[in-house]
Amino acid sequence: MIDKEYLLSTIRDVPDFPKPGIVFKDITTLLNNAQAFTMLMEHLENRYKEYNLDFIAGIESRGFIFGAALATRLGIGFVPVRKKGKLPYTTVDEKYALEYGIDEIEIHIDAFRNKKDARVLLIDDLIATGGTAEAAAKLIKKVGANLLEACFIINLTFLHGEEKIKQHTNFYSVLEIA
């Protein structure tokens, strides 16, 4: 059993970042706490060890931390989902709406080594409105992989981002903040 209250206590609130009125959830204080990070990774490993995954896809940039660590624990490959223009090889991209404008993320066209119906877990540190995560889910499917679930360390439930993800795959969050 994971101690959710303990994990929540290791996450720092930073008021008015990146702009006034926002309370940023800073996970660096969880990452630099060996006991908390180990507890979290053991929980994720236990949850996903029976999923028979082929790859974990992590969303830039904090999803890289959790995704790569979990992939290593499970003995599978890690795939980065990056902002437009950051990957060196042929990519597939997906646009998504921001509060004021549009952004894009991309994945290598052969990210899953052309494995037919590769079994993939998508992971990131936090889901807010769900735009980036939904775009990542669409990318994974565009390149022919089978997205089994999207996992987030923190779900800001009051923003309802999980509703966008549930249209594409199963949804799981370790912690919820209302």
Distances (CA, A) of 126 to 90, 114, 117, 145, 164: 28, 29, 26, 23, 14
Q: What CA–CA distance (Å, rounded) separates 143 from 87?
A: 15
- Rounded to the nearest 5 degrees, what angle is found at the Cα of 120, between the Cα atoms of 71 and 31? 35
Asked if residue 161 lies in contact with residue 171, where contact means CB atoms within 8 angstroms, the answer is: no
Q: How far apart are the first and last CA of the chain?
A: 21
Residue with tokens 């494995």: 115
The three-class DSSP label of residue 28 is: helix
Is 99 one of the catalytic residues? yes
Q: Is 104 a catalytic residue?
A: no
d(CA 156, CA 151): 13
One of 47, 62, 73, 119 is an active-site residue; which one?
A: 62
d(C-alpha 166, C-alpha 153), whole Å: 16
Q: What's the CA gap between 104 and 106, in Å, rounded? A: 7
- Catalytic residue positions? 62, 99
